[in-house]
Amino acid sequence: MSSSIDSKEADDIRSVEGPVLVLVGQTAIGKTELSLRIARTFGCEIVSVDSMQVYRYMDIGTAKVGEKERREITHHLIDIVTPDQPYHAARFVEDALQAIGQIQRRGAIPLLTGGTGLYLRALQEGLFVGGDSDPVLRRHLQGRAAQEGSEVLYRELARLDPAHAAKVHPNDSSRIVRALEVVQLTGLPFSEHLRRQGAEGSVRFARMLKLGLRCPRGLLYERIDQRTREMIETGLEQEVLELLARGYGEELKPMQAIGYRHMLGYVRGRWDRQEMEQCLARDTRRYAKRQATWFRNDSSIIWFASGEHEQLLAHIGRWLSIHQR
């Protein structure tokens, strides 16, 4: 599908009137299985809210839904860019709005599902500089500053955001890294965020139901450990080797994501297999903890236990009986 949206169509759908369903939760908690069931039950098309599933050739490490399921139920925002193409929250907002508009014009219900809280917040509230952060991206930029020097990154900032670069000293690596992080994460210059100072560009959803899955920490960690083993057993190493063979180097942001940087460490000989698996599971648990903190701050989410599928489906049915009129 197209990854851009013309200004007229954007204006038309900045206020989304039809019902929209949202399913969020931590990694490995069971969103994919439940989202398919919701889609089958209520006639939904699924919009992925995942910052990694947008990339082609990265299937196992991102736990993408299978081709069979995608043929049965239309999925949007999966496999739309290559790993060397930038993707950020601002572009996600445009792509998601286009998908939502297309789905509703077909008479179906959009179901947004995934674990990238920043993307969902950007869609609803606009882009905010204060809390937007990506530990992987920041670590990558800090590593570059240490290896290449802050002046190299400063020249990059001057090209991407000359207005902000004019206010930053070339040796102030902390501010340079932060400004570059914001540009790469949101798609807008730091100076533009400061100018906007608020939720300009936010979208009004007249009827949105946000549901979340949660489960005890011990159970979630067991699922994360199981998923880690499955990714390794089903070919994550071969997937990474094929990415490298295609010319996608480990310096790229998606190649530094959880799973990919760990397998790169193994194939480059920096870790043995046991170390790689242990570190992958550990860092996935840490990511899940950050997700929990993020979603916990959203008071509009209605929470269900990960096994309460029937109760959740019944809640959607009641809600749609009122909001589809």
Q: What pLDDT is recorded for position 130?
A: 54
For the stretch 68-121, pLDDT in tens is 999 999 999 999 999 999 898 889 999 999 999 999 999 999 999 999 998 998
Q: What is the third-level CATH fold of 7-126+199-323?
A: Rossmann fold (3.40.50)
Q: Determine the residue type at 34.
A: L
Q: Where, residue-wise, is CATH 3.40.50.300 in the chain?
A: 7-126+199-323
Bind-site residues? 25-32
Q: What pLDDT is recorded for position 194?
A: 67
Token representation of residue 236: 């994550």
CATH of 135-196, one of 1.10.20.140, 1.10.287.130, 1.10.10.10, 3.30.565.10: 1.10.20.140
Bind-site residues for ATP? 25-32
Q: In what order do the strands lie in the sheet with 15-25?
A: 75-76, 44-48, 109-114, 15-25, 204-214, 302-305
The DSSP H or E segment spanning 210 is strand 204-214
DSSP-assigned states of every residue in 260-292: HHHHHHHHTTSS-HHHHHHHHHHHHHHHHHHHH
| Short-list 245, 301, 248, 240, CA closest to 271 | 240
Beta-carbon contacts of residue 317 (< 8 Å; ≥ 6 apart): 41, 42
**Residue-wise pLDDT tens for the chain (325 aa)?**
333 333 334 443 478 999 999 999 999 999 999 999 999 999 999 999 999 999 999 999 999 999 999 999 999 999 999 999 989 888 999 999 999 999 999 999 999 999 999 899 889 877 655 555 677 788 888 888 888 988 898 999 999 989 888 888 888 888 899 889 888 888 888 777 766 644 455 678 999 999 999 999 999 999 999 999 999 999 999 999 999 999 999 989 999 999 999 999 999 999 999 999 999 999 999 999 999 998 998 999 999 999 999 999 999 999 999 998 6
Bind-site residues for substrate? 27-32
CB 262 within 8 A of CB 241: no
Backbone phi and psi for residue 21, each to the nearest 5 degrees, phi listed first: -105, 145
The torsion defined by the Cα of 258, 259, 264 and 267, in degrees rounded to 10, comes to 160
Please tell me the pTM assigned to this model: 0.79
Q: How far apart are CA 212 and CA 30, in angstroms?
A: 11
Q: Where, residue-wise, is CATH 1.10.20.140 in the chain?
A: 135-196
Backbone phi and psi for residue 65, each to the nearest 5 degrees, phi listed first: -65, 150
